[in-house]
Amino acid sequence: MHMKNLANGAPYKRTIDLKGDVTKVGMMDSTKKSQPTDITRITSQNAEAGQVAMRSSLSATQGDVLLNALLAMRQIDASSGKVLVGGDWTLKELECAREFNFELPTGLPAAVTRMELAVRNVMGVRHCVILVFNEQTGLYNCLGDLARMQGPVRELPNVSDGFLQDLLETDGEVLQAGFSQEGGLCGLVAVAGKDDGKPFTHKDQMLLELLAPYLAGKVARFVQLRQSQTLPYVQGAVLDLAARLVTAVDQDAIITALLETFVHRLGFDACQYVGFNPENGFGEVLYDIRKPAGNLQTAKVQSYSHAGQEGKRRTVREFSNLVGLLSSMARNRFYLHLNGKKLGDRSLSEIFGIRSIQSALLLPVADVATGEIRGTFNLFHTTDALISDEAREIARESVQLASQALSRALVLEKALAMASSDELTGLINRRGYYQRFESELERARRHQTSLCVALIDVDHFKKFNDTYGHLSGDLVLKALAELFSHNLRKSDVVCRFGGEEFAILLPDTGLKSAVELMERVRQSVEKLQLYGINGELLKVTISVGLAEVNTRPKASARQSEISEALAIADEQLYRAKEKGRNRVCIPCDETGATQQAG
């Protein structure tokens, strides 16, 4: 029976020459007679043979033949009967070769699990962790974190026993051994907790160092495998977001899609969208999302973008000092990575209003056409876990998509405004009002906020036209449109509903607040000083009907809630006229009592 010596090409020959119960191994040379060789003299050759066998990726059959041949050796010298010291380590190295003689699974988590299992089997331990050195950061990464391809990656500034005990979740003794591979790869493996409960010895340390080169080959393969999977992973995440943005036609939907992606898919603990206010140069937190302590999927985006939410916005004054830098970053598609707790002399938590920020990623959003800064997406970790390369790349590409989507949404919004505006007053017309009603209802359902609708009629307008003429009537309508727009919030939607009727949507407003708001508007109209085309003083009053829209999520179409709310508001408008006009009416309360103001 012959076998090639993988170290130098000479074939092994198992001899049948037995003395007692001892087998000898001879090296066969084609020019010399084969002579039995003491096992202690071929220990290093066997070790090299085992390593070469692994590097050559022997088939299972070839590996078994080699191992069976070598394991037939005994650790006792045939002539002297002494224990041969090298024989024990030969068997240990063969055990390493056998344990690491496997194809690495293509799934990254499974690959890490398989490598750790091989280490535990050889060492006879319960706990194992593998670290690789990151040349870019100068820190160590846990192989298990890298295998997840998403979420935070722990980075260790050093590999002291204390750090390793935390990783291994033990307060006992820890053994570690370094490894390296051609191409710059280096790292270490650490183990703890022997299966037999005994303390570690110097032999255990030697055994860990013995297996390290075998592990290095597998880790190198893992790194290659991960690199081959990183690009498809990044592309997949970006394509999923792009599919969501296709159906997102307004700012709310676009920003919500991004923030949910950053928390649910990339594992950030908190995220914000900070809009730039050109009037004062500061930033304002318009949207945010924070990871809850329990189920991650319950994290929801909170919006403060509507004027009714101005009081809840957080001002980021440092934004004014960063506009120039952010503009340059946006042009070059860069981001600002803050690996620490401070920006200047202030803590990140103090600036952004989120507790315990440890690291942050700031990604600027610019207008595609003008290049002007619109705002920033701010992504935070509140633990010591830093931001992975994959997360940074996905976030960067996602914000580029968002910039384009927001610019398209703005163009679409302007086009719809032009097609949906009333020529006389400049307000949106009935068609545009229904479109806005649907979007505001959807937003109210998504964020679980209130929504009210008001219908307004100019009192005795027909008689007014007959008395002062239609041109004076047009002056009244334009003056009322300007008064409504001036006295209401930016988020409120004012519409010329038809003739002398106006309709107003009041987002983020309950019925009680809506009554107070519309009563102030009614009083402003009552005090309005208007003059007709012939200089005559025009006295104008309005009647208002109010209703609260049902914003509870339900399976029925949105049109039913819109029609129902408008019908109730119209009914209250009719009641206001019956009661003498110049008043605000709302539905009866639970006792049946009529509520009205004015």
Say if residues 116 and 62 touch (Cβ distance below 8 Å). no
How would you class 278 by CB atoms within 10 Å of its CB: exposed for 0-12, middle for 13-18, buried for 19 or more?
Answer: exposed
Question: What gap in Å lies between CA 394 and CA 377, rounded to an integer?
Answer: 13
- Strand pairing category for 584-586 and 542-548: parallel
The domains spanning 108-230 and 247-415 adopt the same CATH topology: yes
What residues does each domain of the chain span?
2-99, 108-230, 247-415, 421-597
Q: The domain 247-415: what is its CATH number?
A: 3.30.450.40
Q: Which fold has domain 108-230?
A: Beta-Lactamase (3.30.450)
CA dihedral 425, 430, 435, 438 (to 10 degrees): 120
Say if residues 572 and 587 touch (Cβ distance below 8 Å). yes
DSSP state of 200: P
Residue 501: predicted pLDDT: 94
User: H-helix or E-strand containing 203?
Assistant: helix 202-246
Say if residues 9 and 27 touch (Cβ distance below 8 Å). no
Compute φ and ψ for 347, nearest 5 degrees: -75, 150
Q: Which CATH architecture has domain 421-597?
A: 2-Layer Sandwich (3.30)
Question: What gap in Å lies between CA 454 and CA 515, rounded to an integer?
Answer: 9
Question: What gap in Å lies between CA 522 and CA 535, rounded to an integer?
Answer: 24
Question: What gap in Å lies between CA 464 and CA 10, rounded to an integer?
Answer: 116
Question: What gap in Å lies between CA 106 and CA 109, rounded to an integer?
Answer: 9
The pTM score is 0.54
Compute φ and ψ for 127, nearest 5 degrees: -125, 140
Q: Give the count of beta carbons closer than 10 Å to the beta carbon of residue 143.
A: 22
**What are the helix (H) ranges across 39-176?**
43-55, 60-71, 85-99, 108-123, 143-148, 161-168
Q: What is the pLDDT along the chain (598 residues), one digit of tens a residue?
A: 333 333 333 333 322 232 333 333 333 333 333 333 333 333 334 444 444 444 343 444 444 444 443 444 334 344 444 434 455 677 888 889 999 999 999 888 899 999 999 999 999 999 999 998 887 667 788 888 887 755 556 767 677 888 888 888 888 899 999 998 876 778 999 999 999 999 999 999 999 999 999 999 999 999 888 878 777 777 888 888 888 888 887 888 899 999 998 888 888 899 999 998 888 888 899 999 988 765 555 678 888 887 667 778 888 888 778 777 777 777 777 788 887 788 878 888 888 988 889 888 899 988 887 888 888 999 998 887 767 777 888 888 888 888 888 888 888 877 777 777 888 998 988 888 888 888 888 888 888 889 999 999 999 898 888 888 888 889 999 999 999 988 888 889 999 998 899 999 999 899 999 999 999 999 999 999 888 888 888 889 999 999 999 887 764 545 678 889 999 999 999 999 999 999 999 987 433 333 455 5
